[in-house]
Structure 1
Amino acid sequence: MANDIKLLLKGLNCANCAVKIEKRINNLEEVSEANMNFSLGIITIQPIKESESEKIINKVKNIVKELEPGVIVSKYRRDGNNLKRYNVKFKENNTHLNKIDSSKNLKKSKSLATNKFIKFFNQENMMSIIGIILYIIAMIFREDTYLNISVFILSYVLIGGNVLKIAFKNILRGEVFDENFLMSIATLGALAIGEYPEAVGVMIFYKIGELLQGYAVNKSRKSITSLMNIRPEYANVLTKNGERTVSPKQVKVGDLIIVKPGERIPLDGIIVEGEGLIDTSALTGESIPREVYKNDDILSGSINLNSVIKIKVTKNFGESTISKILDMVENASNKKAPTEQFITKFSKKYTPIVVFLAISVAIIPPIIISEAEFSNWLYRALIFLVISCPCALVISVPLGLFAGIGGASKKGILVKGGNYLEALKNTDTVVFDKTGTLTKGIFEVTEVNAVDINKEELLKFAALAESFSNHPIAQSIVRAYNGNFDKNDVNNYEELSGHGVKAIIKGKEVVFGNFKLMQDIGIKCERENKLGTVIYASIDGEYKGNLLITDQIKETSKEAIKKLKSLGIRKIVMLSGDNKKVAEKVSKDLGIDEFESELLPVDKVLKVEKLISNKKSNGKVIFVGDGINDAPVLARADIGIAMGGIGSDAAIEAADVILMKDDPLSLVQAIKVGKKTNSILWQNIIFSLLVKIFVLVLGALGMANMWEAVFADVGVTLIAVLNSMRALKA
């Protein structure tokens, strides 16, 4: 929504803390809804009143300061790489992209490296390093003297002081089940029973693990966000005073822009001059360059490879293809997948249960077993506390889902939410629209059958009647007429959805449409039984013949149907507005299980509803359409998929998944990505729980120490984060 507040939480590497922050913000009376995208470190907030935005931001800053003091909150700006901020200077080059001064880049890289070095050796890390040195000295002179014990305790304070400080502050705020508190209690308990080396060693391991975990999360974020580095930074606008380099947000509809070889196309438009090759891989995942010519539509985000082209802008930056793609990917985490919702609920119960078990292990055995030593069972209980943090589960699920969405976008598959990505794996029935989805949708007029009229004149009437329609069939008729015509000759134009068109042309009442339309208006004619789409003509209430229009099946459609069946799809259905003979042949050629023909858009909705109500399993019903007039049925299906529909606003609004490539095989890829991502999520969940339960059992039996417990917490989290990143290559 336009009034949504987007905040960047820089330095937020704790997923459990992110869940707490999201919950606290959702509890604010000024907030309608808040969704945390942990993978990007962004929280999106819907205020109840737009006027209270600043008040909400201040409250969010206070909440974050309380829960995660080191995290910096700022307004999120996707256009942070704008010209003013970086003071970009361009160099003209005949064959390459204008480049930023390389010496400045080198200085900037050195500066960043220096900053990272200084940041690492901050006060807290320096204290930890001194603490580790003292710990090593104490371990060398391993004696139970007061001096050696004092060195252990001093090293513990230096290394874990910040953990203890945060834990104490969180206790005052009522945040008892916090990883800092649990680690503090566990290690302080170890000190209390004289396990000095282990208490300090475990705190060292925990701190190092946290550092590595933060590093792994940041690397994961960079890997994911690198897929989104497709935003154009500038546009070359042609003005009265010559060429001017500006931010794409400053360009208006109707402006002329120049795109040079190597530059990214900044805005959607139409080529008015020039031709060449463009790289669309950032949008479609297609590696083969596409040829473009004058009058071709061109999408922002593509890269011009080999020539200068002039483009007339048709959409402002906010409405451009690239902006819509970035919006969809950024907001994908707002729609939580069932697995993510389950883990969030499970983690809230998991920690209290394990803490309760820890208390039971510490108290019950010494009471009921006469020879049991309290210190021994207390130590076992402390192991439970270390393992009780659910970080591995809470981090890996959202990261895995977002990595899957990012990996899908790299293939030209835009998924609007983790819920849809997860639902793809449960696909039971796939319903295809025919025209433009399984067939090319590039129609040609192959026959003009005139009755009591000249063929050329009939075709001219048809071209005039269809000249106001964007339907592919209408456009094919306009293309078929080679002569000139004046649209001003057309009056009272009316498009009859699913039937045809009617208008007054040069004083004559003209109707072009399907056989049913002829019946409805009382025109007597024979129904043609031809392989193709037949458009019947009526002029002043008399039948004047028909046009035969044919389409071709896409080369990959048959392979896509075969692969869908191999993935376990139970039923494949085709819905078409075309006549039965054409629909039957296409269905038979492709190996489709069922087909329905001569359908209006509303009929398609009813057919999908029937399939949903009659399904015997919990599997999902997918509808795949070309996005031109399929918005109602896209919205009604369990998962609506628009093929090549990024140019259609209705398709973007209605569809849950958008296949940028105009290829049915992309659906196969989308389902595979959903299956692989879900598999990775459950690998992480099962692995994390098995390791934790295994170490808990060993700890209760006295066969595990705190080192194993820290591995079951931090080590497992690292493994889960790394495994989640495999979804990027799904």
Structure 2
Amino acid sequence: MIFVSEKEHHHEHEENPKESIAKMIVTAVLSLGILVLTHFMNLPSWGVLLLWLLPYGLISYEIYVEALHNLFHGELFDEAFLMSVASTGAVVLGDYLEAVTVMLLFRIGELFEGYAFRKSRKAIAQMMALRPDAAWVVRNGTVESVKPEAVNIGEVIEIRPGERIPLDGVVLSGESTVDTSSLTGESCPVAVANGDDVNSGCVNLSGVLRVQATKAFGQSTVNKVIELVQYAESKKTKSENFIHRFSKIYTPCVVGLALLLAIVPSLITKDFAEWFSGACVFLVVSCPCALVISVPLTYFCGIGAASKHGILFKGSGALDALAKTQTVVFDKTGTLTKGVFHVTAVHADKMDKKRMLSLAATLEQVSNHPVARCIVQACEVAQEKVSEVQELAGRGVRGVVNGQMVCVGSDKWMDELGLPWHPCHHVGTTVHMAVDGEYVGHIVVSDEIKPESVQALEKLRKIGVTKTVMLTGDADEIGQEVASKLNIDEVFTKLFPRDKVEKAEELLKQKPPHTTLAFVGDGMNDAPVLTRADVGIAMG
């Protein structure tokens, strides 16, 4: 599923969409009933007026409220005012069906726009889930739970396995692995130990950590990410759509001409009633309801056709913006790659490859680490006699298998064991293995490029995209490897969400005039840059 969005205007008032739809249905049913009733019954004019006031009041009173609200806030000539004036003119002339239809069509357009705006706010709600509600702070030798806002810079906090890191800081004691996917999008956890920096919003997976806070809660990484999303959303709501800009010019012109038509000729002919009626006719005829509803419905047909292919557009403006796209920026993990790790190479120095992989999988069964799970899934684990299994945070797993001491883990651990190891020419996470104190080889676990990524990039170039860029939180060698395989023009690595936004800002300044920049991503960590780009394309 692909979700495409761009910057759009929204109205001040909001209403439950189910209530709006119910009011539209009731209005339509009432109007149909009144038409049937007045066709078969000869009602007095005041009776017809009272009947039509029911559906008209139901569908229009909120638009009048919005027009008055905007009037008191200095926004006189907007589309709500234009619709109110035009429909009022229709009521004065006795064209009640016309008055109701104008308001009904306008409310349909607002319903579509409100739906798009509600979708955009979900990004903020998702990001708020990254912010912890409590922090364990060490004070006077005891550990107590406080709100993260109450922790001062320099204080020590304790982070237990499974907990989300509440504040940015540096590790004072303990070793663990940290899931940074919520910020970087990369699914391979990072080992941390004494002296390493950790960022708020990440999840501590294994060991207990004691961290000294280096930033206040308001300045923490996760708060900055939330602020980026909110800032991008606020910039987006200031971007007015065509109808809104059109009404700023069209409405005062129409109202001014209607006033001239009512006043100037009546001063000459002394027949104010006739010219007032003529001014009302002019207002009704000048009402751009065809424009107000035909443009949204035209785009709605295109949006509906795209949805059949699994593409959801947040708003009609995204179609226009997408047509002018010449720069496309991609996230890596889960967008260009599968986002799922697999064993991609087994290099055995002293034993059979299958036996080496089987031994590693036998030990890794005890670990919940994503890399360990990949190794277990890569082979059928033999029934071995296993004992004394121990998982060491940030290092790996060791245990006795059929009487042999087996160690599976990082190059750092191999150094600590005093075992000579060698790096691998394959790009990915390298897991080394030693048996009875002898280095026997390594296993490479890495993400895989989606088969359709190459084809998709080729098609983009054929339809006019002149520049492709990749932004990733992954290591430089991994990012460069993926970019070279896909023939991507530029690549930037080791980026946090705020860094991605900064890069997007730079690319927006560099893009050719009258063109747009699209960003393609798949995770919550991409939310700030998705909303900042001219076109945000979320895959998932």
CA contact (8 A) 2:520 2:538 kept: no
Match of 1:503 among 368, 375, 397: 397
> Helix, strand or coil for the counterpart of 1:505?
strand
| Letter of the structure 2 residue corresponding to residue 613 of structure 1 | E
CA distance 1:487–1:442, change in 2 (3 Å)? farther
Q: Which residue of 2 aligns with 1:614?
A: 506
Q: Which residue of 2 aligns with 1:412?
A: 310
CA contact (8 A) 1:451 1:544 kept: yes
Q: Which residue of 2 aligns with 1:438?
A: 336
Q: Which residue of 2 aligns with 1:128?
A: 38
> Helix, strand or coil for the counterpart of 1:638?
helix
- 1:535 has 2:430 as partner: yes
CA contact (8 A) 1:433 1:574 kept: yes
| Letter of the structure 2 residue corresponding to residue 624 of structure 1 | G
| Letter of the structure 1 residue corresponding to residue 35 of structure 2 | N
CA contact (8 A) 2:431 2:442 kept: yes
Looking at structure 1, the residues matched to 386 and 237 of structure 2 have their Cα atoms a distance apart, in angstroms, of 51
Q: Which residue of 1 aligns with 2:162?
A: none
- 1:480 has 2:379 as partner: yes
How far residue 537 of structure 1 moved from its aligned partner, in angstroms, is 0.6
CA distance 1:479–1:342, change in 2 (3 Å)? same
Looking at structure 1, the residues matched to 320 and 416 of structure 2 have their Cα atoms a distance apart, in angstroms, of 46
Looking at structure 2, the residues matched to 517 and 424 of structure 1 have their Cα atoms a distance apart, in angstroms, of 50
Give the TM-score normalised by structure 1.
0.40
Give the TM-score normalised by structure 2.
0.51
Looking at structure 1, the residues matched to 532 and 46 of structure 2 have their Cα atoms a distance apart, in angstroms, of 57
Looking at structure 1, the residues matched to 269 and 332 of structure 2 have their Cα atoms a distance apart, in angstroms, of 78
How far residue 458 of structure 1 moved from its aligned partner, in angstroms, is 3.6
Percent sequence identity over matched residues?
Answer: 29
| Letter of the structure 2 residue corresponding to residue 462 of structure 1 | A
CA contact (8 A) 2:348 2:442 kept: yes
Match of 2:539 among 636, 659, 669: 659
**1:168-567 alignment runs, 5 A limit:** 182-183=86-87, 185=89, 188=92, 203=95, 206=98, 343=243, 351=251, 354-364=254-264, 367=267, 377-387=275-285, 389=287, 391-392=289-290, 395=293, 407-414=305-312, 427=325, 429-434=327-332, 437-439=335-337, 445=343, 447-451=345-349, 455=353, 458-464=356-362, 466-467=364-365, 468-469=367-368, 471=370, 474-476=373-375, 478-484=377-383, 490-492=389-391, 494=393, 502-506=396-400, 510-513=407-410, 524-530=420-426, 533=428, 535-539=430-434, 543-548=439-444, 553-567=449-463
> Helix, strand or coil for the counterpart of 2:378?
helix
CA RMSD of aligned residues (A): 5.8
How far residue 593 of structure 1 moved from its aligned partner, in angstroms, is 1.2
Q: Which residue of 2 aligns with 1:162?
A: 51
> Helix, strand or coil for the counterpart of 1:611?
helix
How far residue 381 of structure 1 moved from its aligned partner, in angstroms, is 2.0
CA distance 1:559–1:121, change in 2 (3 Å)? closer
CA contact (8 A) 2:361 2:376 kept: yes
How far residue 545 of structure 1 moved from its aligned partner, in angstroms, is 1.8
| Letter of the structure 2 residue corresponding to residue 590 of structure 1 | L
CA distance 1:527–1:567, change in 2 (3 Å)? same
Q: Which residue of 1 aligns with 2:521?
A: 624
Looking at structure 1, the residues matched to 387 and 531 of structure 2 have their Cα atoms a distance apart, in angstroms, of 43
Of structures 1 and 2, the one scoring higher in RCO (CA 8 A, sep 6+) is: 2
How far residue 361 of structure 1 moved from its aligned partner, in angstroms, is 2.5
Looking at structure 1, the residues matched to 99 and 246 of structure 2 have their Cα atoms a distance apart, in angstroms, of 26
**1:61-80 alignment runs, 5 A limit:** none
How far residue 412 of structure 1 moved from its aligned partner, in angstroms, is 2.3
Looking at structure 1, the residues matched to 505 and 469 of structure 2 have their Cα atoms a distance apart, in angstroms, of 15
CA distance 1:178–1:161, change in 2 (3 Å)? farther
CA contact (8 A) 1:524 1:543 kept: yes
> Helix, strand or coil for the counterpart of 1:613?
helix
Deviations 1:584-643 (A, max 9, x none): 5654453321245xx5xx536476345223222574451435x5xxx43x23423599xx
| Letter of the structure 1 residue corresponding to residue 39 of structure 2 | I
> Helix, strand or coil for the counterpart of 2:421?
coil
How many residues get paired? 382
Looking at structure 2, the residues matched to 486 and 431 of structure 1 have their Cα atoms a distance apart, in angstroms, of 51
CA contact (8 A) 1:337 1:417 kept: no
CA distance 1:575–1:353, change in 2 (3 Å)? closer
| Structure 1: runs of 5 or more not aligned | 1-17, 24-33, 44-60, 73-115, 135-153, 189-198, 225-334, 642-654, 661-730
How far residue 448 of structure 1 moved from its aligned partner, in angstroms, is 3.1
How far residue 184 of structure 1 moved from its aligned partner, in angstroms, is 5.5
How far residue 473 of structure 1 moved from its aligned partner, in angstroms, is 8.3
